[in-house]
Chains A and B, each alone.
Chain A
Amino acid sequence: MQVVVLVKQVADTAARIKLADGKQDIDRQSASLIVNPYDEMAIEEALRIKEKHGATVWAVTLGEAKAEEALRTALAMGVDEAARVSAPASDALTVARALAQAVREISADIVIAGRSAADDEQGQVGTLVATLLDWPHVTEVTKLEISGSEGVAEREVEGGVEILDFSLPVVVTTQEGLNTPRYASLPGIMKAKRKEIRQIALGEDVVGQPVLAVRSLELPPPRGQGRILTDLDPAQAAKEIVRILHEEAKLI
């Protein structure tokens, strides 16, 4: 069984970011980069499938050479193989076409992706890959069981849980609550260093033309100073807060 995890390298959610010149991307040179947290859950789930049923787990990313750091992290966590796809892809559709081609080349039985990336939060790629492959697809999975060529996935829905049966091959995306990703271990880091990363180069004939373009990104406005009401008794203060929320903030 081949399990492919789709991995994206994103800016560290704990660090401050800057926009690149032209405002169409973040400044990736200055950003501290990590594996997208939802993708870490995907890696963990793939490793659990491997430990339970036996499988070869692949981590696949699309990006520049620097993105191989994310693959090394996946290898250090225990992934068996890694591949970097390079392709002229810019929007979710072209990225998905490239990744779907990589999934075909690896002959995957299960594809696990994060529900969305912590940077652009579009949440399109997993679903588009499933569509392009014409495979069953379960989004935002909180529990996953595989047995033979069948599987059961749970998802949280308003007020309850939805339980879905499917047969392989399948594409699933991860949701909080699925698992707690393991840490890379030191022996894992040392082994990851020596591992060769497969290179998959794809052209425009495979990925096609993008259908979306980023016009510009804006950072959120800096948080203003708070306001403190003084010299009012509680009743007056309450009245004044209601007035501010209604007339100035227009929140109520």
Chain B
Amino acid sequence: MWSWVALTAIGPDYFDVDSLLTEEERAVRQMVHDFVAAEVMPTVGEDWLKGRFPIELVRKMGGLGLFGPTLPEEYGGAGISQVAYGMIMQELERGDSGLRSFASVQSGLAMHAIYRYGTEEQRRTYLPRMAKGELIGCFGLTEPDAGSDPGTMRTRCRRVGDHWVLNGEKRWITSSPIADVMVIWALDEEEKVRGFIAPKGTKGLSAPAIETKISMRYSATGDIVLEDVELPEELRLPEAKSLAAPLTCLTQARFGIAFGAVGAAMDCFNEALDYAQNRIAFHKPIAQTQLMQQALVDMLSLTTRSQLMALRLGQLKQEDRFNYTQVSLAKRDNVRAALQTARMARELLGGNGITTEYRAMRHMANLESVDTYEGTYEIHTLIVGRDITGLNALG
């Protein structure tokens, strides 16, 4: 007889989603779960408060094969399934959204851009080293005045002889202060979006950190400033010919977020359930009150629905018959569900809930960012709205 209680160490798994995974997917999930439990959980609260990204974990994660794992082996990948990739994201975000963001940007954005739009030489130069965590990547699309409408970007590229000159400014770039390889998107003189690989240390290229965040403090976030940055033609991504290129990369990263959010929600639920069963008020566990049971069941319900939607999305992607609008719905719903779950968990934990000794408020603060980045909740609503009505209300 199956019991969901036995699975809470890694769950919750109220609908036995576990049995829908392959043995390999379960093994991947268990490995990342164990890694996060041992290497992240003991110190994440303190590091988050300090605003410190755990740079020492990057090579360890690379050694385990966590970056670009769906890519072919010749580029440092392991050719794992889309659901297995999702399980990596789920378990990393059970630790912290900032850690999952790092992995999303490394795999889904930077490596994916080079794999999909780069030359064979660019792939062989960068991907194996990025897979090992020897090179950190970032993805420069968003600007101070171009967020939901990336097509209005102001960063410009101009061809001069056999090289390109880039000028502009990017903002809210995950990992930019620590990146060795920056994928930069810019408009050329014909208003076409082009992509470049800008190595750290290139003259005129800098990436100051944004220090005032009260969210995602376990992640390095910054600007990218480009002042007459000269890049040779060999560092342009030749297959990227329009805005569709960076948007395709975003779909890849959003897919991972739909799974990651489930991990954050699971961690909040587990913490809240444990707390409610052990916290005594009025001479009984607070879990024995109707209000707390409703909160816990609502959290479980939100989490279970997200889990099922993420899994189905992963299956569709594996069969290569998914649509970016489905990714939008899953990102929108699962992140909002995780945010609501984290808020309820924080409330249930009372005063203890506001410290980093517990996890709920850290997740909650992080998820405020996740709800906004990679397409806001509202933008995804309008993407799906356009799809089902056939009418465009986006701008």
Residue ranges of A at the interface with B (Cβ–Cβ < 8 Å): 12, 14-18, 27, 29-32, 34, 69, 72-73, 76, 183-190, 192-193
Contacts and interface: CB of A to CB of B under 8 A. Distances in A.
Contacts of B393: none
Nearest to B79: A190
Contacts of B1: 27, 29-30
Given A30-B2, A189-B24, 7 more contacts: A12-B6, A16-B5, A16-B6, A17-B6, A183-B64, A187-B73, A189-B31
A34 B6 CA distance: 13
A30 B3 contact: yes
B162 interface: no
B64 A185 contact: yes
Contact of A73 (B8, B27, B65): B27
Contacts of B6: 12, 15-18, 30-32
Contact of A186 (B5, B7, B34, B66): B66
A15 B12 CA distance: 12
B28 interface: yes
Contact of B35 (A18, A29, A183, A192): A183
Interface residues of B, number: 26
12 contacts: A15-B8, A27-B1, A27-B3, A72-B23, A184-B27, A184-B31, A186-B28, A186-B64, A187-B73, A187-B78, A189-B24, A189-B80
B20 interface: no
Interface string B1-43: 1110111111000000000000110011011001100000000
A19 B310 CA distance: 33
Nearest to A69: B23
A36 B369 CA distance: 40
A143 to B, nearest CB: 22
B137 interface: no
A190 B65 CA distance: 11
A76 B30 CA distance: 12
Nearest to B37: A14
B194 to A, nearest CB: 33
A34 B29 CA distance: 13
B69 interface: yes
B204 interface: no
Nearest to A186: B65
A163 B34 CA distance: 33
